[in-house]
Amino acid sequence: MTGASAPRRSRVARRRSVWLGLLTAGALAGLAACSGEPTMSALPTETATTTDASSTAPASTTTTTSTTTPPPLTVTSTAPGTIVTAGPPAATVTPPAVPGTCPYLSDEQAADINGQKTGQTSIIAVSPHPTCVFTRSDGGWLATVQIIAADTEQSAVAAVDQHVPIEQSDPADQPAGWSGGSMVTDTKSVYAVSKGTVAIVAESNQLQSIKGRQMVIATVAALGL
């Protein structure tokens, strides 16, 4: 197929749950029509019947029905006639955070973006780039920036969806060439985007997603991603 675009998280993909239900049902129905075999929902139900013959009362009948529900899938991108599913990279054991200097976002940048003075910055030494945890001058949490390396583009998209669920977030497309989402909770804002096999997640104690967006833009510029 020519002209195929890289999987990107878009408004179409944001209807992941609805797409999944409709596309899965359609796919099963199509297979049944082609193969002549019934779909899962059309399979006859096995009925176990027992009769109490020793009783003088009319025989009693017990009917047992079991239903099997297939596990849900995650749709990370769609194209005409194609459904791509993937999961985020597997969780790994990370070392403890230690005091340090973030190599791609300075304390001054973090302070300017979030409008608060920074305290001790900590580094979590993971690959390909360390996770940076910024604190306020009073020691409270300020912001975190995490860079995720995935095996595939679809897995990077799934990593973004893990941090900003499609049903709860708004589309995000900055910096140029990156795609993802942003959301605000009761305690923080989250901005997460991916490009190729790399995903970046920025969280701030400020309830404005623009804070995370600015941190991601600065991170991409510093690392040349």
- Alpha-carbon distance 190 to 139, whole Å? 21
Q: Are 172 and 157 in contact (CB under 8 A)?
A: no
Cα-flanking dihedrals φ and ψ of residue 221, to 5°?
A: -65, -40
Helix (H, G, I), strand (E, B) or coil at 36: coil
Share of the chain above pLDDT 70, in %: 59
Domains of the chain, start order:
13-85 (no CATH), 98-223 (3.40.1000.10)
Can you give the pLDDT at residue 86?
57
- Alpha-carbon distance 26 to 117, whole Å? 54
Can you give the pLDDT at residue 143?
98
Residue ranges in the chain whose pLDDT is less than 50: 1-4, 11-83
Angle at 205 (CA atoms; ends 127, 175), nearest 5 degrees: 55
Q: Which residue has the tokens 């897995």?
A: 155
End-to-end CA distance of the chain: 27
- Alpha-carbon distance 20 to 46, whole Å? 28
Chain center to CA of 30: 29
Which pTM does this prediction carry? 0.64
Both structure tokens of 209: 């997603």
CB atoms under 10 Å from CB of 142, counted, come to 26
Can you give the pLDDT at residue 94?
78
